[in-house]
């Protein structure tokens, strides 16, 4: 296992990070098995674990907390805040009011006194970024978190946050966590260069393209609907024209993997860690078998010929599908920001 420094924090993390999204009701509800998977990952040299408060409505954090009970000092622990998972007003977002409450709940579920990396799960344009950076800086001063970052922030929001931190003397986002894979390369245009320029660590998620690069999703073959496909069946329906490009790309990428004697998921994992801006790639196994397959990829290095072939299939900076289905910028969702009032047209 290789290790890299996390965004100028001085904290060393493994290039492969164990994602805990599939631990709990959404993925694997067997707590004991999930704990065994976490322990196996740690035994293989992974020292970085990422979860979020909304994964299985807090159950993922609870499982991770149980697993790390006697191994907390050996692990860099990351979690996130933003999305609602209980009913009621003011129980989501990036406000001081919610973050102050949410971090205490996460600490309790995780069974720890501190969080190494606390991340803002998505932008919140109803909250001034200054408000968010202020409370996060206070949490660092209070010793509840060691550093903070953002997740799936576009380049313009990252730059705005950086300048607010600089102007107001707050701590700054040390990391960003965007989706990135051989089939979703849009962040190569501006997000990754911006993070690199600002010295931010990058933890990428969805390296298997929501399961399309798992090797189990193939053209003209039966689809396993017990895993990712059950969460969002429309993404996999071969009858939908929008999915045709995904299936075509998979078949070509399988040929690349076969040509170098590896598997498609191993190729996918190795591809992500090749980019110089990427610190660690998050993989979220649901079973021990899936973990073992991902660990194997940690030692794989891709040569330029292989990377050139991947570039031919999915050109740099392009997306075969929209990688982040959980959030859209307000500039697109708010009609008033895209259309002048009738009286002004």
**Active-site residue set:** 55
**Cα angle at 84 between 226 and 200, to 5 degrees?**
90
* Under 8 Å between Cβ of 49 and 76: yes
Q: Look at residues 186, 213, 189 and name the one whose alpha carbon lies nearest to residue 323.
A: 186
Read off the tokens for 150: 């953002």
Cα separations in angstroms, 153 against 87, 159, 213, 235, 245: 25, 10, 24, 23, 26
Per DSSP, 49 falls in state E
User: How far, in Å, CA of 17 to CA of 76, rounded?
Assistant: 10
CB 78 within 8 A of CB 59: no
Cβ–Cβ under 8 Å, residues 158 and 132 = no
Question: Dihedral of the CA atoms 267, 217, 121, 111 (nearest 10)?
Answer: -80
Q: How many CA atoms lie within 13 A of 149 on its CB side?
A: 28
State the first-to-last Cα distance of the chain, in angstroms, to the nearest integer: 59
């Amino acid at each position: 296992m290789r290790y890299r420094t996390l965004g100028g924090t001085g904290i060393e993390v493994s290039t492969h990070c164990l994602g805990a999204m599939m631990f709990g009701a959404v993925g694997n509800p067997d707590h004991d098995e999930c704990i065994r998977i976490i322990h196996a990952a740690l035994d293989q040299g992974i020292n970085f674990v990422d979860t979020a408060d909304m994964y299985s409505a807090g159950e993922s954090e609870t499982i991770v907390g149980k697993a790390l009970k006697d191994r907390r000092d050996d692990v860099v622990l990351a979690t996130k805040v933003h999305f609602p998972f209980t009913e009621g007003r003011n129980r989501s977002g990036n406000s001081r009011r919610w973050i102050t409450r949410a971090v205490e709940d996460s600490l309790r579920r995780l069974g720890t006194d501190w969080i190494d990396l606390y991340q803002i799960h998505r932008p919140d344009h109803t909250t001034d970024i200054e408000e968010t950076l202020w409370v996060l800086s206070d949490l660092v001063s209070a010793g509840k978190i060691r550093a903070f970052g953002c997740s799936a922030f576009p380049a313009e929001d990252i730059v705005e946050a950086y300048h607010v931190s600089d102007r107001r003397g707050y701590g700054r986002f040390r990391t960003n966590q965007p989706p990135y894979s051989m089939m979703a390369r849009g962040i190569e245009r501006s997000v990754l260069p911006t993070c690199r320029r600002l010295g931010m660590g990058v933890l990428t998620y969805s390296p298997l393209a929501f399961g399309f690069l798992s090797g189990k999703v193939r053209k003209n073959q039966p689809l396993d609907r017990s895993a990712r496909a059950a969460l969002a069946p429309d993404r996999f329906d071969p009858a939908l024209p929008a999915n045709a490009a995904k299936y075509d790309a998979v078949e070509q990428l399988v040929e690349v993997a076969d040509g170098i004697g590896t598997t498609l998921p191993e190729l996918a994992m190795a591809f992500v860690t090749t980019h110089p801006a990427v610190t660690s790639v998050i993989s979220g196994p649901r079973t021990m078998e899936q973990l073992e397959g991902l660990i194997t990829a940690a030692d794989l290095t891709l040569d330029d010929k292989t990377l050139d072939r991947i570039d031919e299939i999915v050109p740099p900076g392009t997306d075969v599908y929209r990688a982040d289905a959980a959030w859209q910028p307000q500039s697109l969702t708010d009609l008033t920001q895209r259309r002048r009032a009738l009286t002004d047209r």
